[in-house]
Amino acid sequence: MTLRISVIGTGYLGATHAACLAELGFDVLGVDRSAAKVDALSRGLVPFHEPGLDELVAGHTASGRLRFTTDLAEAAAFADVHFICVGTPQQSQGTAADLTAVFDVAAGLAPHLRHSTVVIGKSTVPVGTAAELAATLRARLPLGVEAEVAWNPEFLREGHAVQDTLRPDRLVFGVTSPGAELVLREIYAAAIERGTPVHVTDLATAELAKVAANAFLATKISFINAMAEISDRAGADVVALADVLGDDARIGRRFLDAGIGFGGGCLPKDIRALAARAAELGAPSIRALLEDVDDINLRARDRAADLAAAMCGGDLDGRRVALLGAAFKPLSDDVRDSPALHVAAALRRRGADVRVFDPAAANNARAVAPELTYVAHVDAALHDADLVVLATDWPELVALDPGRAGALVRSRRILDGRNKLDEEAWTAAGWAFRALGRAAAPVATAPVAPAPAPTPAPTPAPRRPGRLRS
Ligand code: UDX
């Protein structure tokens, strides 16, 4: 018989997971305490932007394989297995994760359970949470009913969530019994048959796997942004540097794009939560490491604002700035902890008249930063601009034509906040081009001593003609 599965929490993670389980052929009930969310999803509407998800939700709600409810008792009666996918945001007073929703689900579900089950955590939690959750659950179960807690973290990226869920690159099953492992193997049979590696671990390792993966990615980005700072001081080029590092198979080129840094609903909160947990576990130097990662990341945003001011002669007062991108990354309408919006706000505070354009995130951005001016078309942002800042590397923004853009602006100055633009094309079109970690540096432009070679070295041309200097 097909497994019946409840997915509790239908935010970004839960809605995707529920729809993908339905796609795999399971009968799925999504549960959320927000009646508005349940109502929208029940009508086949996804309340956020994620490529491919609308089709899955619409198709499977229409067929009845995917339903939604606000009622945990209904979930308890319906499902053989329960996934917990609720949010674990940063605490309002502090940096640790707020686990209220996770424990509320366990406490709310347990008394309704009538048959033994596995409760599988997917939310990102501090290591040690699963064991506590099991105790919470056990304390509230009806007599004779058993519930095992397992942990099965997800590694999905926004913008690729459906693909990452249906075709994960690895599976982690944190379990305390062979029975729970079998349940997880049944749920993920399709991926396992395709050869997806499965890591069967204890609960703590499974919880930590997710947090550690995100901390590593964040550290990788901050490392290259640290090298961008060094490059700016030493006159090196961080993009060329990243290419060199990336050719080392042990390092790899991905996540070495320097710029205004990482944001979103995961990496920033996860490194802060891990820092807080490290301190609780008596490891202050690990906390210090992660705090440095956070500091370097936030500093990149301020460095971008400083560079913008330098490009405008040191003063942004009254300058019109076209800020391209508001989402924390391309192909997303998510503006949580968005570096782009942070930079926009910093420029505005320095007196700039900032016009923000984003292909998908303007509405969300307006809700969190209503003081900024949003425009519906990129041309409206560029019109009469004294400075253009690429803040989110949407493909259509990276592909902007420098000639056409140049005809719209007042001054051809562009700050590539993502190190994604074709510098040669922009400078050839007469733009002053700057980027973090690619300073027009003294050693790059100073005369170079002739190399002791048989033919004299050609006189080095300035590498970036037309660059403004800070
Ligand atoms: C991340 C993890 O990648 C994913 O595995 C996890 O499950 C959730 O958190 P996501 O938040 O969707 O996913 O975004 P990701 O693609 O990782 O990008 C995070 C941020 O880092 C973005 O702001 C992006 O612009 C920035 N970034 C990424 C860089 O600044 N440089 C890079 O080289 C890569």
Q: What is the span of the domain harbouring residue 163? A: 4-201
Tell whether the model's pLDDT for residue 241 goes beyond 60.
Answer: yes
Residue 98 shares a structural domain with residue 9: yes
- Coil/strand/helix, residue 405: helix
Q: Which residues pair with 117 in a beta bridge?
A: 147
Q: Using 50, 70 and 90 to split pLDDT, how confident is the model at 440?
A: low
**Residues comprising the chain, all counted:** 470
Indicate if the pLDDT at residue 445 is higher than 60. no
Phi and psi (nearest 5°) for 456? -65, 140
- Is residue 238 included in any domain, yes or no? yes
Calculate mean pLDDT across residues 141-153: 97
**Number of domains forming the structure of the chain:** 2
Q: Do residues 296 and 181 both lie within one domain?
A: no
97 and 26, same structural domain? Answer: yes
Going by C-alpha positions, the residue among 297, 330, 122 that lies closest to residue 226 is: 297
177 and 229: one domain? no
For the CA atoms of 274, 275, 281, 283, the dihedral, rounded to the nearest 10 degrees, stands at 130
User: What does the pLDDT read at residue 48?
Assistant: 87
Looking at residue 360, its amino acid is A
129 and 271: one domain? no
Higher pLDDT, 56 or 48: 56
265 is in an annotated binding site: no
Task: From residue 291, give the alpha-carbon distance in Å to each of 223, 258, 268, 287, 302.
Answer: 13, 18, 10, 6, 17
Q: What is the pLDDT of residues 337-387, one digit of tens each?
A: 999 999 999 999 999 999 999 999 999 999 999 999 999 999 999 999 999
Position 239 in a domain: yes
Say if residue 329 carries a ligand binding annotation. yes
Q: Does the C-beta of 257 come closer than 6 Å to ligand 1? A: yes
Ligand 1 center from residue 430 Cα (angstroms): 33
Strand partners, 218: none
In this structure, the number of other CB atoms found within 10 A of the CB of residue 413 comes to 22
Residue 227, phi then psi, degrees to nearest 5: -65, -30
Judgement on whether residues 191 and 221 belong to the same structural domain of the protein:
no
pLDDT of 181 reads 98
State whether residue 181 is helix, strand or coil: helix
**Domain harbouring 395, CATH code:** 3.40.50.720
Atom of ligand 1 nearest to the CA of 264: 11
334 part of a folded domain: yes
Position 453 in a domain: no
> What CA–CA distances, in Å, run from 261 to 97, 328, 396?
22, 9, 20
Kindly state whether residues 159 and 249 are assigned to the same domain.
Answer: no
Specify whether 156 is located in the same domain as 267.
no
What's the gap in Å between 221 CA and the centre of ligand 1? Answer: 9
pTM of the full predicted structure? 0.91
Residue 345 inside a domain? The answer is yes
- Boundary (domain end) residue, out of 201, 225, 247: 201
3-state secondary structure of 149: strand
ipTM: 0.97
Is 65 part of a structural domain of the chain? yes
- Mean pLDDT taken over the chain: 93
For 11-23, the pLDDT digits (tens) are 999 999 999 999 9
Q: Please give the biggest Cα pair distance in the chain.
A: 90
Asked if pLDDT for residue 457 goes beyond 60, the answer is: no
Q: Which residues contact 449 (CB under 8 A, 6 or more apart)?
A: none
- Residue 163 has a pLDDT of 96
Q: Are residues 172 and 238 in the same domain?
A: no
Boundary (domain end) residue, out of 169, 201, 233: 201
Residue 192 banded pLDDT, cuts 50, 70, 90 = very high
CA of 350 to the centre of ligand 1 (A): 28
CB of residue 171 inside a 6 A radius of ligand 1: no
In-domain check, residue 415: yes
In a domain, 208, yes or no: no
Q: Are residues 355 and 272 in the same domain?
A: yes
Among 244, 176, 251, smallest CA distance to 220 is for 251
158 within ligand 1 shell (Cβ under 6 A): yes
What is the pLDDT averaged over residues 174-193?
98
223 annotated ligand binder: no
For residues 289-301, average pLDDT: 98
Tell which of 145, 177, 201 closes a domain: 201
Same domain assignment for residues 219 and 194: no
Q: How far apart are CA 28 and CA 44, in angstroms?
A: 14
Does 423 show up as a binding residue in the annotation? Answer: no
Atom of ligand 1 nearest to the CA of 213: 5
Ligand 1 centroid – CA 267 distance (Å): 7
CB 141 within 8 A of CB 170: no
**92 and 45 together in one domain:** yes
